[in-house]
Structure 1
Amino acid sequence: MEKNPDTYGKLYLIPSLLGDNEPLGVLPLTVKQTVEQLSHFIVENERTARRFIKKITPRKSQPSLVLFPLNKYTEAAAIPEYLAPCLEGISVGVLSEAGCPAIADPGSDIVALAHARGIRVVPLVGPSSIFLALMASGLNGQNFAFNGYLPIETSERKKVLKTLEKRSGEFGQSQFFMETPYRNEKLLAELVRTLRKETLLCIAADLTLESEYIQTRTVGDWANHLPDLNKRPAIFGIQSK
């Protein structure tokens, strides 16, 4: 007998913190309430997930948690089983290491599978470094693109940067990207060397934290005002005039 989708559990997309914040200073109460109700989670990193769950719901029993790993090491064949609780009427939460699941983080595959199986997907409100940077940048928020991580190799990265700058000018589209925190300063130096002086560059680091830094200047202006970005999570945005 075919199951009724109305009896399925839901798949909750749960935003997590971007840094060492007090949870309710950044997240709405609905996130805390949802985490309190769930015992099954699909997580990018088990240690990070347990720490977040304990921080937002200190009284929740850690031994009772059922955690399914979803990261670059997860075998594709294992993913469908992660939704088995939903088919039995048990809701499941998806947690990425920081920010919102499925936005520059794992999650989209499990969400697509949930839709295919008739499981209701419920996204919860919370911080996304990409969208916070876009909001605060002053760059075009009507037409924008997020390009993930740029190539590591210098000549290839320079080529990509010139392509993004050209695309921004041709289509009026702001271009956002990121880098591993320990390579931020190298990328910033390359941005100043590679891009045209009149191109706008936004640097947004440590978003939602006390040390939050957001500034947009022309590349020419940045040449004399480079911030210390070493080991600080950051998003970069450019817009060609």
Structure 2
Amino acid sequence: MPKLFLVPNVLSEGDWQNVLPAGIYQILTNTKYFIVENIRTARRFLKQVNKEIDIDSLTFFELNKYTQSSELPFFLSPIQKGFDIAVISEAGCPGVADPGADIVKIAHEKGVKVVPLVGPSSILLALMASGLNGQNFAFHGYLPVKPNERTRAISALEKQAKNTKQTQIFIETPYRNNQMLSDLLKTCHSSTRLCIAANITGDDEYIVTKTIKNWQGKLPDLHKIPTIFLIGE
């Protein structure tokens, strides 16, 4: 029975074997159809895993913010012919903060077997290393871009964290990370704990949790560095 494999990608530069299971090698080597966010980076990832893969013999469907929803059922058409398909995210796990969830939804509707493979999730790795509550947490994706709306969102998340002991997790476009950090320090109470988890699994991985008070004047430069923010009690 053909399957839809959800294949995690690395989070940072380095040897893929340090963060991905060996079984991914065989699946990627044997699969001929791929649903990816970006064809160029997906091709590079496949070559990193197995240099012998004949990239030109593969078929890629691109799934990103420009893809029309009407195209998605066609992406699964190889399964009807007996072929497996692999979904590859740009980084981390498909379907988590990722457009891959759209194709997985359709796969379930069509009765296709969905197989998630083990791999790194920056959200969960950050939570694990933060020291914040891992029993009750919420991921909110991107906060509003407009300053006033973002400040209100931060205040609401901080209130939620205090009232429910729930860890609040969110991200920002990397080139706006430093502004996000500045807004957190201006908005949050001095006793609120903030974890900054940057370039997870990379050689210069940075994961530090402090109170807002203790972060003051001691900020890392997060410009253009993939970062997860977590606040909690």
Please state which band the TM-score falls in when normalised by the shorter chain: over 0.9
Distance 1:20 1:169 in 2: 36
1:1-241, aligned counterparts within 5 Å?
7=1, 9-239=2-232, 241=233
Identity of aligned residues (%): 51
Aligned CA-pair RMSD? 0.8
1:37 is aligned with what amino acid?
A: N
Gap regions ≥5 residues in structure 1:
1-6
Structure 1 length-normalised TM: 0.95
Q: Secondary structure at the match of 1:99?
A: coil
Distance 1:25 1:170 in 2: 39
1:146 is aligned with what amino acid?
A: F
Distance 1:35 1:106 in 2: 20
Distance 1:10 1:91 in 2: 5
1:223 is aligned with what amino acid?
A: Q
Distance 2:179 2:70 in 1: 39
Per-residue displacement from partner, 1:58-100 (whole Å, max 9, x unpaired)? 1100101100011111011110011111122100000111111
Structure 2 length-normalised TM: 0.98
User: How many residues get paired?
Assistant: 233
Superposed displacement of residue 32, structure 1: 1.5
Per-residue displacement from partner, 1:144-171 (whole Å, max 9, x unpaired)? 0000011111110000000000011111
Distance 1:14 1:176 in 2: 23
